Structure 1
Amino acid sequence: KELAFTFPVVVVFMDWVLHRRLRWSRYAQLAGVFSVYTVLRLAALSRFMIRQTIFELDPVSLVLSTLAFLAAYISKLLVPHDVNAFHVFSPTRSILSREFLFTALVLGAFAAGLWFFRKQRALVFLFGFCILTLVPVLNLQGVGENVFADRYLYLPSVGSSILIPLAAREIWKAHPLGLWQGRQLGALLLTLLLVAYGALLWSTVWMWRDDRTLYTATLERSPNAMLIANNLGQYYQGQGDYEKAKQVFRGALEMWDRSFIKVRRNLASTYAGLGGAYLKQMKLQEARDFFLRAQELSVKDAVVMDNLGSVYLGLGDYKTAREYYEKALALNPKLERIHNNLAALYLVEGDYDHAISEAQTALAIFPQLGEAHIIVARAYARKGMIEQARL
C-alpha cells in the first residue's frame, strides 16, 4: 500500500517536532526496508510511479483539483459526511467555483487550527500526520478509477481520532469552567457530537445490506458511476431479469458522454452486458451486434470471444463459432465455460470424441459444471456407449 511510503517520513517528523533525539540507526533500517521494497516494486511494475487512470488536465486544474481532494479528505477526517462507495471524479477548474471555495474554507480552518496549537508539539505532530499520510493518494493518476475514496482515510483517521480529543483538552485547559458546569457542558457537547456523527453514519449503514442495495444507493449518490451501473446490470442479469438489466446497461451508455474519466473497459463491459442479456433472450442478431462492439473495445477479452462463439453457434454458423471459441481459448485456456461451449459445438456437429474431450477438460477445471456432465453423457449415448453415458 502506497500509504505505507509515508511511515519513515512520519517517524522522522515525529522525532523532529517532539524534539526527540534523532535515531539515525532506526532511520537507516527503515531506509533499508524501503530500498528492498523499491527494488521489488520496480521489478513488478517496471517503474516506481505508475498511471492507473489516464486523463488530461491543464496544470492549473491539476493543482486546484489536488487541493480540492486534500480539503475533502481533511473535512471527512473531522466530520464523516458524504460516505459513498464510489465517488466519481470531476476536476476543479476555477478558484471561483463552489468546490474551490469549500476547499479554501477547509484548508484555511485547518491552517488556523495548526497556528492556534502551534506551541503544543503533540498536536502539531498530529496535524502533520494527517497531511503526510494523505500525500500518496493525492497523486490523482496514480490511484484507480475511483480517484477519491473514503477507504484511503484508514491511516490518516488514526491521527484525527487522537487530534480531536487532545485539541478539546487543550481548549478546556485554556478556558476552564467550574467543575459542575464543565461536566454539564462536556456531556452536552459529547452527546451532540455522538448524535450528529451517528446520524451521518446511520444513513449509510443500510446500503451495505446486499449487492442490489449497494449498487442502487451508490448510483443515487454518484449518478455517473458507469462501473457501478454495469455491476447493477450484471446483478439483474444474474437474477434472470433481462429487461431490467438492459434498462440499466442502456443507462450506463448514457453515462459515457457525461464522464470526465472515460475507461474503455467500462464501455466494453456495458456493450457485453447488453449482448449477454439479448443472448439469454435468444435475440441473437442484437446480441451479436453488441458483442462485436465490445470486441472492438476489448480485443483480448476471452469472455466476449466466447459469447460471440455462442451467438454464432445459435445462428448455425459453426465455422465462425469455432473460430471465436478457439480465440477465446488462446486468451484464457483455463476458463471452463469455453471448453464446455466448444464441447457443445462438437456435439452438435457429431464429433463426439472431441465433445467428450473438451467437456472432460472443463470438468477437470470445475468438476461441478453440470452442463459438461450432460454433454459427456449425450456424446457417449450417441456413440452407443450406454454404460459410459450412465456414469
Structure 2
Amino acid sequence: MVRYSFCAGAIGVAIPQAVIPGLRDFLLDLSPSEVAASQLLTEFWEEAFNCSLTKSPAVNKGLCDGTNDIKRLKNPYTETSQLRVTNMVYKAAYAIAHAFHNALCLETNVTTQCDKLIKLKSNQIFSELKKINFSQNGYHVSFDANGEPVAAYEVVNWQTNESGSTEVVTVGSYDASLPVGKQFHINRNITWMEGGSQVPVSVCSESCPSGTRKVLQKGKPICCYDCKPCPEGEISNITDSPDCIPCPKEFWPNANKDACFPKPVEFLSFEEILSTILATFSVSGACLAIITAAVFFRHRTTPIVRANNSELSFLLLFSLTLCFLCSLTFIGPPSEWSCMLRHTTFGITFVLCISCVLGKTIVVLMAFKATLPVLSPNRLSLN
C-alpha cells in the first residue's frame, strides 16, 4: 500500500522496528546455486531479477547469467530495519530460549549447571516463560501478571519524500512502562494530507467559542452547525456547547456570556442630590401634617372641628404623616428588614389614608342627602 500516494498524510501506530544483528548479511549471502536448491528462494530470485534459473525460461524472461547481485537489490527484502513483525518473532524465540534455559539450568554464584537430559513438560516452560526478564537487541522483554508484555509502539506517519514516493516515517513513540504523562511522545513534525503542516479538521464548521451554542444546520451532516449567542440570562463556558445554562439568582452574565457574576447592588444613597430633595419634601410634609394635627387637637372642642369628624381627621393626619416618612425607608443600602419594611409600611399607611378620605367623603354625601322632618298640618297651631 506504500505505492499508493493517497495514503500520504496517514498516521497510526506500528510495532517498533529494529535492526536484527546479522540478519541482513544472512539474507544477502545467497549464491545462485544455493537459490536453485530451494523452490521458495528460486521463486523469489526470479521475481526480483526478472530472469529464470531453469533451463526452460518463462515467457519474456531470460536465463540468469550469474552476475545478479542481491546486495544491490532495493526492495523490502533487503531493508531489514523495516521488518517489524520479524523483530517480534526474534524476541519471542529468545523468550522461549530463556524459558528453556531457566528450566534446565541452575545458576550459582560461581557457575551455571545445566542438565539437558531432563524431560520438560509444556506447563513447566509456560511457568518459566512468565518469569523471564531480559533485554535483547535494545528491547526489554517481560510479562505482567496477566501474561501481557509492556505495550510499546511507534507512531508512524506516511510521508512523501523528495523523489515523490511514499515512505513510512517514525514520528513518535508510546511506551506504557514510562510514568503517566510521559508515555506518549512526538519527536518529529507530522505531515498531513497534501503535505500540509496544519492538523486537519473533521467538521465543516469552526468550533463555537464560549458564550455561544451549536445549532445544527437543517439538511446537512451533524458536523455542520451555526454558532448562536446565548439568550439573555444564560451562559456557556465551554467550546462547542450544545446548550446554554441559566445564571443562578442574584447573578447575571458578563458581556461575553461565558461567566456569571453577582449583580451590583444599586440604591439611592443619602449623599445624592435626589435623596436630599426627597428627604426634604418628606420631612416637610410630615411636619405640616403634625402641625395641622396639633392645631386640630388644640381646637378640638370648637364646632368646626367637631363638625369635621375629628376622629377621622386625626386618623387621616396620622396616616399622611406615616406616608411622608415612609419614603425615607427607600433611601440607603437595602437589607432584608428594610426591604420588608418598605413595602409593608407603604401599603398599610396608603390604604389607611385612602380609607380615611373615603370615610369622610361618605359622611359628607350622607349629610347632603339627609332630609328635614316634615311637620303635620294638624299639629300646627296659631298663637
**TM-score class, shorter:** under 0.3
Higher strand fraction: Structure 1 or Structure 2?
2
TM-score normalised by L of structure 1: 0.20
TM-score normalised by L of structure 2: 0.21
